[in-house]
Amino acid sequence: MNVQKINQILSENNFPKYRLSQVLDGIFKQFASSWGEITNLPKELIEILEKEAPISSLEAAQDFEALPKDAAKILFKAKDGNFAETVLMKHADKGESGGGRKTVCISSQAGCAMNCAFCATGQGGFFRNLTAEEMLDQVLHYCRILKKQGERVNNIVFMGMGEPFNNYDNVIAAIKLFNGAEYLNIGMRHISVSTCGIVPGIEKFAKENIQANLAISLHAPTDEIRNRLMPVNVAFPIKKLLAAVDFYIEKTNRKVMFEYLLIDGINDSDDCAQKLIALMQKKLYHVNLIKYHSTSAALRVSSQARQTKFFDILKKAGVSCTFRRSFGEDIQAACGQLSGQRK
């Protein structure tokens, strides 16, 4: 759904200004799935919109639902044939609307160039940046589905396919569409951007003067281990990365999430926990431990006992730390599993 294009159509065809409010209300409040569903629009405008401004830039190629029905995933096909995946997570806790929180995890790129060893997206290579419109259409898809169930999307995370800061301008434009009162109207504090550690992107994000959350895919407590898992660490090693995070905190005074996948024999030892504790000694640092979902024959999942021990060591040392629940492992929708391929 391209807001600019709609504006252009309205002005070129001399429709009165209030028609824009009706279009935006139809899309962002009623969550219409077709222009014809917006009943207060004149027939001639509906016909032009149908021809020139498709209500979605993405076509659903394949739908998946996780077994406990707490997650869903959709594979989208863009007009040029590229694929991107989007995940809906239904949390058990209570959100503002009374029902459990609903988080949509979106992709910012078709594929990814960063080649992280634990990630199915990275192993598939990079195709192209997604537009802000394509990111919005991923969220609108689940807004429409949830509306039919009397629910709504409460949170958006940029944790799907792609490195958001490699597509910086489109990601910022999408955040503004998610947050704008006339658009999706989702609070900035309910929008999170996760980066593998692109230092110039973090520094730029710090100066944006927006309240969206920042998450860092850390996954290792030393450069030696991180270089093995994440090639980005060669250009932006841990010291530089944390300096950029501190700059972000200084500018925003906002908490930063450090994501840490536990991988058997690689980063899950007691020694790694101690080294991570030494790094995480800042007030607004928070660690999110995550179960690794095997996407590579070379890496194995940490045992349950190891995961618990690692968490306990961090907790005992006073590190602000949570264990993030996994969603949709059986439909390859969990962290690191998105590949943008039909199953």
Where along the sequence are the contacts to ligand SF4 (CB under 6 A)? 112, 114-116, 119, 121-122, 161-163, 196, 217
Helix residue ranges, H only, the chain? 3-12, 18-28, 43-52, 120-124, 132-148, 168-179, 199-206, 223-229, 232-235, 238-252, 270-279, 304-316
Distance in angstroms (rounded) separating the CA atoms of residues 85 and 106: 7
Quote the CA–CA distance of 231 and 191 in Å, as a whole number.
27
Q: Tell me, yes or no, if 335 is annotated catalytic.
A: yes
Catalytic residue among 85, 133, 134, 151: 85
| Least distance (Å) between residue 229 CB and ligand SF4 | 9
Contact 128, 109 (CB under 8 A): yes
- Whole-number minimum distance, CB 18 to ligand SF4, in Å? 42
| CA terminus-to-terminus distance, the chain | 27
3-state secondary structure of 110: strand
Determine the length of the chain.
Answer: 343
Nearer to ligand SF4, 58 or 116 (CB): 116
CB of 41 to ligand SF4, least distance (A): 39
> Residue 10: what are its φ and ψ, rounded to 5°?
-65, -45
Q: Which is nearer to ligand SF4, 119 or 130 (CB)?
A: 119
- State residue 13 phi and psi, 5-degree precision: -105, 15
| Structure tokens given for 293 | 């979902």
Residue 308 corresponds to which tokens in the numbers above? Answer: 């618990």
Q: Where are the alpha helices (DSSP H) in 180-316?
A: 199-206, 223-229, 232-235, 238-252, 270-279, 304-316
At CA 308, angle to CA 304 and CA 312, rounded to 5?
A: 170
Catalytic residue among 116, 119, 196, 335: 335
In the bound state with ligand SF4, the residue whose beta carbon lies nearer, of 184 and 331, is 331
CB of 211 to ligand SF4, least distance (A): 23
Cβ at position 124, least distance to ligand SF4 in Å = 9
Q: By C-beta, is 141 or 226 nearer to ligand SF4?
A: 226
Angle at the Cα of 330 from the Cα atoms of 153 and 301, rounded to 5 degrees: 110
Shortest distance (Å) from residue 162 CB to ligand SF4:
6
- The CB-nearest residue to ligand SF4 is 122
Q: How far is the CB of 132 from ligand SF4 (least distance, A)?
A: 18
259 with 290: CB under 8 angstroms?
A: yes
Active site residue 105: no
- Collapsing DSSP to helix, strand or coil, 69 comes out as coil
For residue 108, which of 183, 22, 201 has the smallest C-alpha distance?
Answer: 201
Please give the positions annotated as active site: 85, 335
